[in-house]
Amino acid sequence: MPTIFEIFGLRFFFFSGEHTPIHVHVVKGDDDAKIAIMPEIKLVYNNGLKVGDLKKALQLAEMYKLEIIEAWNKYFDENGNN
């Protein structure tokens, strides 16, 4: 489960056997959400993240979109997955 970054207690990661389109999972405590990165930043689902945390997560996904894409591509290119 490669972690991309953690900010404000929100951990952004993807699973090692992920599939396209590029997306991230965000966890805080026992709550989680999935955010599509490509083709656009979009909430896929929210499983308990509070409104404020979800808003931050979406903003951070937008701010770090290029870094997320780079981390995804690097991981899957190096590991032959996806």
Is residue 48, in this structure, part of any structural domain at all?
yes
Which of these, 39, 42, 41, 34, lies nearest to 15 by C-alpha position? 34
Share of the chain above pLDDT 90, in %: 80
Q: What is the residue-averaged pLDDT of the chain?
A: 92
Is residue 40, in this structure, part of any structural domain at all?
yes
Q: What is the pLDDT of residue 81?
A: 58
Q: What is the pLDDT of residue 32?
A: 97
With 0-12 CB in 10 A as exposed, 13-18 as middle and 19+ as buried, what is 33? buried
User: Is the pLDDT assigned to residue 82 strictly greater than 70?
Assistant: no
Number of domains, the chain:
1
Q: Across-strand partners of 32?
A: 27, 48
Model-level pTM? Answer: 0.90
Is residue 82, in this structure, part of any structural domain at all?
no
Is residue 81, in this structure, part of any structural domain at all?
no
Share of the chain above pLDDT 70, in %: 96
Q: In which domain, by residue range, is 44 found? A: 3-75
Is residue 22, in this structure, part of any structural domain at all?
yes
